[in-house]
């Protein structure tokens, strides 16, 4: 039986710890042997908590280790591209959290380095691996609902992030809506040709003070003629709101929110249930496991990764086009 894939984890923050827990506890075909974080205490804590043998401060140590087959990049966003290029040059397969970068030219440099080195690059668009959204895609791709006509994606966070996060996030379209841009392409299996974004600051004036928006409706036109709308808000007081509906010529497919239980309470005054799961860490728990299993399998079996660097580039291009549409108050064609 082949030995497990040896992984180096770069970045031991919130999402890095999620991947560490999943690899060490739920993916027997892989193991993390080295973790790096510029806050060495965070690296040591992850090592202690998840049974990782070595913890260091410098990510270069991970790339220089001949024992490491692949890296999982969960570092600060502005470091993703440089680390990915260095990893490719070092011959390490790469799993990278989104985005690769906010600049398409920089992303192209990463993709060129990956292509030249021959390593695999999988991007962390975990929602593709959610069982509910995967079933929606199957209904569309298989023709089960006929030709898709209209799509409505709802993605609302339970509460806005702090201003310090907004300042380094790239803005809502690049930080939050980017997941929905990827899902729109994934669910319909079509490319977007035109985009129009209406947005505003309706939740938190501090977000507007950073030059960002916190509420948006984004209209998408697809190459096959279908029309989509993405509905975003930084605050849904009832919890994490993640829904989609696609209307086709022969029917529709939809999926709703996930709840902590299926209980319904009925009284003389009201019929109610508990609020949906509160945020992405709870809502998408299983999708994080499945995406990492897919990456490990692609490396071990030398098969294509399911979410490519090109997918990440396209989602970023859509986010940049949405911001241009908002700034210039007009539809933007993607060929621009």
- CATH 3.40.50.720 location in the chain: 5-119
User: pTM for this structure?
Assistant: 0.94
pLDDT above 70 as % of the chain: 100
Query: What homologous superfamily does CATH list for 128-284+314-333?
Result: Dihydrodipicolinate Reductase; domain 2 (3.30.360.10)
Average pLDDT value for residue range 66-82 = 97
Q: What is the pLDDT of residue 119?
A: 98
Confidence of residue 3 (pLDDT cuts 50, 70, 90): confident
* Whether pLDDT at 31 is above 80: yes
Residues of each domain in the chain carrying CATH 3.30.360.10: 128-284+314-333
Percent of the chain exceeding pLDDT 90 equals: 93
Confidence band, pLDDT 50/70/90 cuts, at residue 242: very high
pLDDT of residue 282: 76
Mean pLDDT estimate for the chain = 96
CA pair distance 217, 241, nearest whole angstrom? 15
Predicted confidence (pLDDT) per residue in 175-200, tens digit = 999 999 999 999 999 999 999 999 99
Instruction: Say if residue 96's pLDDT is above 60.
Output: yes
Residues 16-24 have a mean pLDDT of 97
CATH topology of domain 5-119: Rossmann fold (3.40.50)
> Which of 314, 281, 26, 316 is closest to 185 using CA atoms?
314
Q: Give the pLDDT confidence score for residue 268 in this predicted structure.
A: 97
Mean pLDDT in residue range 35-48: 97
- Per-residue pLDDT, averaged over 271-289, amounts to 86
Amino acid 284: pLDDT: 85
pLDDT, average across residues 1-16: 92
pLDDT for the residue 277: 86
For residues 30-50, average pLDDT: 97
Least confident stretch, 167-176, 182-191, 275-284, 320-329: 275-284
pLDDT in tens, 101-133: 999 999 999 999 999 999 999 999 999 999 999
Query: Is residue 1 scored above 60 in pLDDT?
Result: no
Q: pLDDT for 224-238, tens place per residue?
A: 999 999 999 999 999
């Amino acid at each position: 039986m082949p030995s497990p894939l040896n992984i180096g984890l770069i970045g031991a923050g919130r999402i890095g710890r999620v991947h560490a827990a999943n690899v060490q506890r739920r993916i027997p075909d892989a193991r993390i042997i080295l973790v790096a974080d510029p806050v060495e205490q965070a690296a040591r804590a992850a090592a202690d908590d998840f049974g990782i043998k070595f913890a260091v401060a410098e990510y270069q140590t991970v790339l220089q280790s001949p024992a490491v087959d692949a890296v999982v990049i969960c570092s600060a966003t502005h470091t993703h591209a440089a680390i990915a290029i260095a990893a490719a040059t070092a011959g390490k397969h790469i799993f990278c959290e989104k985005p690769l970068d906010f600049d398409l030219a920089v992303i192209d440099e990463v993709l060129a380095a990956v292509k030249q080195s021959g390593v695999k690059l999988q991007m962390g668009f975990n929602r593709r691996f959610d069982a509910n959204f995967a079933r929606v895609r199957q209904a569309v791709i298989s023709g089960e609902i006929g030709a898709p006509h209209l799509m409505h994606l709802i993605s609302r966070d339970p509460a806005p992030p702090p201003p310090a996060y907004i300042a380094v996030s790239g803005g809502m379209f690049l930080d939050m809506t980017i997941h929905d841009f990827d899902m729109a392409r994934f669910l319909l299996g079509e490319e977007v040709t035109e985009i129009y974004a209406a947005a505003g600051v309706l939740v938190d004036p501090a977000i507007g003070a950073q030059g960002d928006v916190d509420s948006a409706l984004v209209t998408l036109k697809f190459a096959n003629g279908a029309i989509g709308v993405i509905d975003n808000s930084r605050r849904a007081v009832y919890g994490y709101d993640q829904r989609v509906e696609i209307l086709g010529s022969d029917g529709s497919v939809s999926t709703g929110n996930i709840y902590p239980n299926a209980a319904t309470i009925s009284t003389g005054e009201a019929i109610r249930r508990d609020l949906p799961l509160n945020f992405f860490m709870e809502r998408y728990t299983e999708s994080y496991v499945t995406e990492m299993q897919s990456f490990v399998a692609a490396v071990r079996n030398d098969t294509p990764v399911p979410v490519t660097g090109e997918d990440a580039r396209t989602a970023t291009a859509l986010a940049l086009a949405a911001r241009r549409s908002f700034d210039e108050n007009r539809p933007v064609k993607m060929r621009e």
